[in-house]
Chains A and B, each alone.
Chain A
Amino acid sequence: EDQVTQSPEALRLQEGESSSLNCSYTVSGLRGLFWYRQDPGKGPEFLFTLYSAGEEKEKERLKATLTKKESFLHITAPKPEDSATYLCAVQGGAQKLVFGQGTRLTINP
């Protein structure tokens, strides 16, 4: 059974304080690992897809990396507008996405 565990559940940082969010996963035949951002009261918004170990993708202050067992979302010099819940999901051979419970990130000015 495909599983995703995200840590920490919540993270509070000061503006400019870099950190990383973790996504540990088990999946049968990885087809893709996804990161989404969710703002309160809204639907998740797609950020990245990673397809194989060693792959990295960047968008503004965010950088996602992938190994065979986990993915990290690195946030460099965050701003208050980066505050959101970040969701990780995996897709295996069954073509269904399995989501983690999310990390709630708060950036204080």
Chain B
Amino acid sequence: DADVTQTPRNRITKTGKRIMLECSQTKGHDRMYWYRQDPGLGLQLIYYSFDVKDINKGEISDGYSVSRQAQAKFSLSLESAIPNQTALYFCATSDFRGGANVLTFGAGSRLTVL
């Protein structure tokens, strides 16, 4: 089994629908992240959580919300999806080696909003 599991892997939805992307990890890491990847723009940070009681906004949090249900689970929600949220979404976890966050990524969730 993968260390970081994302579901669903692919989702097509319509404008205005509520969508939840789920992430679970078996690494035992406290830190979890949601990133968005668009062609030519690299990875942009949406939200991050350093422990179960800690939630922080990233660079592009507008239109998104998150829930940290347990150490191992971190969900990303789009309350009312819009077409420009069509992208590849990655969940990641990290441990803190020598003061640096080494990320382990999931396989990604491809979201298409029509």
Point out residues on A near B: beta carbons under 8 Å: 4, 9, 31-32, 34, 36, 41-46, 49, 51, 87, 89, 91, 95-97, 99-102
Q: Known interface pairs A45-B105, A46-B102. Does A100 touch B42 (Cβ–Cβ under 8 Å)? A: yes
Q: Which residue of A lies closest to B99 (CB)?
A: A31
Cα(A49)–Cα(B104), bound, Å: 13
* Interface residues as binary, B63-105 with A (CB distance below 8 Å gives 1, 0 otherwise): 0000000000000000000000000001010000111111111
Complex: how many Å from CA A100 to CA B102?
A: 16
The reply to whether A95 and B42 form a contact with Cβ atoms under 8 Å apart is no
Residue among A9, A45, A99 making CB contact with B43, cutoff 8 Å: A99
> Could you list some 11 contacts between A and B, CB below 8 A?
A4-B42, A43-B105, A49-B98, A49-B102, A51-B98, A87-B42, A95-B101, A96-B45, A99-B42, A99-B44, A101-B40
Judge whether B58 is part of the interface by a CB distance below 8 angstroms: yes
Q: Is there contact, CB below 8 Å, between B101 and A97? A: yes
Contact B43 A31 (CB under 8 A): no
B41 at the interface (CB under 8 A from A): yes
Nearest CB in chain B: distance from A101 CB, A? 4
Minimum CB distance partner of B97 in chain A = A49
A4 to B109, CA, bound (A): 25
A4 to B42 alpha-carbon distance, docked (Å): 10
